[in-house]
């Protein structure tokens, strides 16, 4: 583990994790995350990040002037994380710009509805509508690599299950630390309660209640893709850290996706690629993912 990773671990455990453990208001947590992201995460020079008229709400990322988001081009579609209650295209645009630069492709970060104002299945419905809108605009499923991080990774997996069932599988799929099981049955939730640098275990039940609003089934495959089926899936790459509480949410996806390439890193924070401005491990993971994306598109 790099010196930068050791320093970041100490910082997260001393500051961010305690704040998350005691934050009771999801709207306040949302605003705080957005402020922190503006200060902490910076895209590569030359990246163009902006909405595009006539396309779904969100941010389009053009890593340089040669990668315009035209219907004829291939595309990275990434669903942001934030436990379904926070996060936005703005909080994750720097990470996606870094990934898009490495993949030499445009990327799209859509905006989807968040709980508690819009509980399950709002996010899933939005994800399906976003995909349909992109296809209607001219992108073909074989031109799109789908991905996500944390809750967005779970949402993207749920979307992929839906797409596979109707014969519209994307060219490939990747995820960083996906949250795939809202039944919270993974052993790592207990085993890593004291090791996770970022996520406090004591808030998971509360967050789940915000997301499901007391009515949804936590085992519904539209919110827990661990229980989904994936007929004829594309190539899949999943990254997770050994020390995070969602480790087993990633590892157990080997069940429904037996051919998935699931890579386990060491003692790194949840969704460590978002820290690409500091961590060499984050940059290495983004590089691996970019190469995977290019290989999926070449195969497709």
Nearest to 12 by CA among 262, 250, 198: 198
Instruction: Identify the residue with better confidence: 202 or 265.
Output: 265
pLDDT of residue 69: 46
Inform me whether the pLDDT recorded for 239 exceeds 50.
yes
User: Where do the domains of the chain lie, and which CATH numbers do they carry?
Assistant: 3-299 (3.40.50.1820)
Model confidence pLDDT, tens digit, residues 10-40: 999 998 888 888 877 889 889 999 999 999 9
d(CA 147, CA 110): 12
d(CA 162, CA 36): 34
Inform me whether the pLDDT recorded for 276 exceeds 60.
yes
Rounding to the nearest 10 degrees, give the CA dihedral for residues 237, 243, 249, 255.
Answer: 60
**Lowest mean pLDDT segment, chosen from 6-10, 25-29, 73-77, 261-265:** 25-29
d(CA 261, CA 41): 28
d(CA 143, CA 31): 34
68 pLDDT tier (thresholds 50, 70, 90) = low
Model confidence pLDDT, tens digit, residues 208-224: 999 999 888 999 999 99
Model confidence pLDDT, tens digit, residues 122-156: 999 999 999 999 999 999 999 999 999 999 999 99
pLDDT of residue 71: 47
pLDDT of residue 154: 98
As a whole number of angstroms, the longest Cα–Cα distance in the chain is 48
pLDDT of residue 215: 81
Inform me whether the pLDDT recorded for 164 exceeds 90.
yes
Inform me whether the pLDDT recorded for 1 exceeds 80.
yes
63 pLDDT tier (thresholds 50, 70, 90) = confident
Mean pLDDT of 272-284: 97
67 pLDDT tier (thresholds 50, 70, 90) = low
pLDDT of residue 65: 64
Angle between helices 89-103 and 26-40 (to 10 degrees): 40
Model confidence pLDDT, tens digit, residues 91-118: 999 999 999 999 999 999 999 999 999 9
Inform me whether the pLDDT recorded for 300 exceeds 90.
no
Residues annotated as catalytic are 150, 244, 270
pLDDT of residue 73: 80
- Cα 223 to Cα 29, 206, 282: the distances in Å are 22, 16, 27
d(CA 149, CA 156): 9
Long-range contacts of 37-46, Cβ-Cβ distance < 8 Å, separation of 24 or more: 37/90, 37/91, 37/92, 37/94, 38/90, 40/277, 41/91, 41/93, 41/94, 41/95, 41/274, 41/277, 42/94, 42/277, 43/93, 43/94, 43/97, 43/98, 44/97, 44/98, 44/101
Instruction: Identify the residue with better confidence: 135 or 203.
Output: 135
Inform me whether the pLDDT recorded for 66 exceeds 70.
no
d(CA 268, CA 164): 32
Angle between helices 122-136 and 151-165 (to 10 degrees): 60
pLDDT, the chain, mean? 94
């Amino acid at each position: 583990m790099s010196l930068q990773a050791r320093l970041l671990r100490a910082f997260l455990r001393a500051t961010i994790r305690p704040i998350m453990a005691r934050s009771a208001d999801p709207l306040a947590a949302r605003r705080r995350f957005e402020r922190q992201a503006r200060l902490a995460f910076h895209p590569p020079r030359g990246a163009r990040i902006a909405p595009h008229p006539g396309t779904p709400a969100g941010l389009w990322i053009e890593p340089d002037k040669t990668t315009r988001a035209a219907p004829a081009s291939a595309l990275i579609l990434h669903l942001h994380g934030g436990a379904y209650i926070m996060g936005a295209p703005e909080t994750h645009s720097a990470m996606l710009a870094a990934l898009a630069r490495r993949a030499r492709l445009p990327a799209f970060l859509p905006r989807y509805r968040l709980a508690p104002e819009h509980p399950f299945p709002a996010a899933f419905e939005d994800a399906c509508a976003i995909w349909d809108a992109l296809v209607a605009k001219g992108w073909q499923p074989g031109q799109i690599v789908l991905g996500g991080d944390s809750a967005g990774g779970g949402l993207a997996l749920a979307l992929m299950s839906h797409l596979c069932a109707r014969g519209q599988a994307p060219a490939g799929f990747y995820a960083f630390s996906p949250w795939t099981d809202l039944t919270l049955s993974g052993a790592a939730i207990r085993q890593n309660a004291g090791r996770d640098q970022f996520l406090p275990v004591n808030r998971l039940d509360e967050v789940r209640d915000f997301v499901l609003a007391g009515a949804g089934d936590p085992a519904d495959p539209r919110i827990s893709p661990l229980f989904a089926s994936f007929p004829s899936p594309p190539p899949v790459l999943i990254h997770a850290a050994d020390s995070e509480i969602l480790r087993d949410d990633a590892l157990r996806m080997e069940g429904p996706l037996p051919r998935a390439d699931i890579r386990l890193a060491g003692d790194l924070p949840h969704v460590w690629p978002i820290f690409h401005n500091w961590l060499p491990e984050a940059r290495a993971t983004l590089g691996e993912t970019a190469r995977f994306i290019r290989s999926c598109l070449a195969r497709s």
